[in-house]
Structure 1
Amino acid sequence: MLTISEFGRRTGLSHKALRLYDVSGLLPPAQVDPANGYRLYDEEQLERARRISVLRQLDMPLTTIAEVLAGSDEEGLIRLNRWWEAEEATTAARRATLEYLRDRLSRSGTPGLTPRPVLTRDVPETKIATIRCDTDQQSLVGVIVTSTNAIVEHLTAAGAELTSGSWVIYHGAVTPESEATVEMCVPFAGLVDPSGPIAIRVEPAHREAYCTITMDECAYPRIMLAYDLVYDWVRSAGVPVDGPPREVYLPDCHLIPRDQPAVDIALPIERKP
């Protein structure tokens, strides 16, 4: 058995960190002396503690660390890769936001969003797997990537056929200061059961107005200009809105160059007689 000081020295964790991981249930001591309350650790806990230390250096939240360490190493690797992909997507979105602000501050760039057409299309009834959750603007990209990947993995494991890309439905206004419900949707063909947060439902057939943007233009706040473009077109056309707005992503959009068309900003509208 190792004292908390010896255990901390061998793992690079402070007393404060070890007490926090004890309270959170992430790394409780093997024993607690009932007489003096001293924490004692087993040598077999060293590897888990070192992994926690490394993951914390990556700024991984404690709840995510618990998920990574909950199962086998193979399951942990899947969760780690899923989290890191979301982190990289968030970083790319922040970089695009930074470039937008630099452009606006320098006053030397083109308008925030170059002119483009707003088109309409009919979308057939579609079977989808979805995850709903509440998020704010800072966490939005990570939530979209993590949830969409989880849905795709579930569908693939069930032998379903992925029929197109994916989309995100905004059931409220997501801002830097407030959360709202977003719904990540992946269309598929086949028989799949719901699992955990993943639900199965049918998206009704509808008509929608949309414009197409690049991944760089997806960055907040530039993406809001694309929403304005679609909403302005709908108002000028005198067509009633018939559902919440959505972002429709092309298959493997993360592999498309960031300056190429990859995402549709869409708004369901009523069909004209």
Structure 2
Amino acid sequence: MAARDLDDELTISEFGRRAGLSHKALRLYDVSGLLAPARVDPANGFRFYSVSQLERARRISVLRQLDVPLATITEILAGTDEEGLIRLDRWWAAEQATNEARRATLEYLRDRLLRPSTPGLAPRPVLTREVPETKIATIRTDTDQQLLVGVIISSVMQIRAHLDRAGAVLTGGSWVIFHGAVTPESEAPVEVCVPFTGLVDPAGPIAIRVEPAHTEAYCTLTKDECAYPRIMLAYDLLSDWVRRAGVPTTGAVREIYHPNFPAAAGSDLAVDIAQPIEGPRK
């Protein structure tokens, strides 16, 4: 090895000190493929890093201080700085939404402890409507209740960015189809959907399909009422209506977010809980 290369080398201790990372962290990032050493001595297994790797290591250190998952860090650092910024902003928006959802859940629990005799959800009607055939872009993934809000926010942002680049026209808000029971203890598949018109190709996790026309029963909630577990009372209301009406269901239940949802105040109507059902015979 040339002398100039040796001058550029740092031991794992010196590299860790300058990057703000421990030996344990550096070994983890090596195993995960996030930050491999520039050279490993075959005789003794000592790891050596180059000075040029310090910037990447420092970015990893800062991202870990923000509790960014390793998989997300890999995505942020995989492309250009511009692409990394988009992925970082998407993750941060999801984190903020998750924290806001936790705050709303706390407020619900405090309200139940302060006023246990009041109903958790005010009475409201269950209505029906006809939904036309709709072209949608979707991301399907598994999640639990704790990560659900973040998954929804990041997926919607990713889908809308893809549609925007393709020149598509958005035709509504967004919705989430629950293909299984999402709970705090277990994951289930969910499908995040954004309707559009135009010619768009699938890309990565984003699929393009047509949602068939259908009849659905639904009830509408305010933004504050979307907090878990209060929102589950709306699911109960809808399920009870379907059972009493004696109509067969024809698809998975879904949460439909109105176009005004991001800017809606807590008391604004912003979400429909909807269940596809068998429509009137023609």
Superposed pair shares fold, TM > 0.5? yes
Is 1:157 the counterpart of 2:165 in the alignment?
Answer: yes
Q: Secondary structure at the match of 1:182?
A: strand
Contact kept, 8 Å, 1:103 with 1:109, in 2: the verdict is no
Distance 1:145 1:109, change over 3 A: farther
Cα deviations by residue, 1:130-158 (Å, 9 ceiling, x for unpaired): 11111111111111111111111111100
Gaps of 5+ in 1: none
Distance 1:243 1:23 in 2: 43
Report 1:139-154 matches (<5 A).
139-154=147-162
Match of 2:123 in 1: 115
**Which SS does the other structure have where 1:69 is aligned?**
helix
**Contact 2:260/2:270 (<8 A) preserved:** no
Q: Residue 110 of structure 2: SS of its match in structure 1?
A: helix
Query: CA–CA distance in 1 between the matches of 2:177 and 2:147?
Result: 16
Out of 230-239 and 262-271, give the one that drifted further.
230-239
Q: How many residues are treated as equivalent by the alignment?
A: 273
Does structure 2 retain, via aligned residues, the 8 Å contact 1:151–1:186?
A: yes
Match of 2:252 among 230, 241, 244: 244
Name the residue aligned to 2:223: 215
Instruction: Show the counterpart of 2:275.
Output: 267
- Counterpart pick for 1:234 among 238, 242, 247: 242
1:195 equivalenced with 2:203 (yes/no): yes
CA contact (8 A) 1:168 1:246 kept: yes
Residue number in structure 2 paired with 1:91: 99
Flag as ranges the 4+ runs of structure 1 deviating above 3 A. Answer: none
Q: Which runs of 5+ in 2 are unaligned?
A: 1-8
Match among 165, 170, 174 for residue 166 of structure 1: 174
Tell me whether 1:71 sits opposite 2:106 in the alignment: no
SS at match of 2:78: coil
Greater Cα offset, 46-55 or 214-223: 214-223
Alignment of 1:18-97 (within 5 A): 18-97=26-105
Q: Out of 6, 11, 22, which is 1:14 matched to? A: 22
When the two structures are superposed, what TM-score results if normalisation uses the length of structure 2?
0.94
Structure 2 residue aligned with 1:104: 112
- Given candidates 196, 214, 227, the residue that maps to 1:206 is 214
Per mean C-alpha deviation after superposition, the further-off stretch among 106-115 and 149-158 is 106-115
Does the 8 A contact of 1:4 with 1:39 survive in 2? Answer: yes
Of residues 129, 134, 142 in structure 2, which corresponds to 1:126? Answer: 134
Q: CA deviation at 1:272?
A: 2.7
Matched residues in 2 for 1:107 and 1:115: separation?
17
In 2: Cα distance, 1:76 partner to 1:142 partner: 18
Question: How far off its partner does 1:8 sit?
Answer: 1.1
**In 1: Cα distance, 2:237 partner to 2:11 partner:** 63
- Residue 110 of structure 1: how far off its partner (Å): 3.9
Q: In structure 1, how many angstroms separate the alpha carbons of the residues matched to 2:170 and 2:73? A: 30
1:208-259 CA distance string (max 9 Å, x none):
1111112221121111001111111122222221211000011141211122
- Determine the C-alpha separation between the residues in 1 that align with 2:256 and 2:222: 12
The RMSD of aligned alpha carbons is 1.2
Give the Cα–Cα distance (whole angstroms) in 2 for the partners of residues 258 and 32 of structure 1.
56
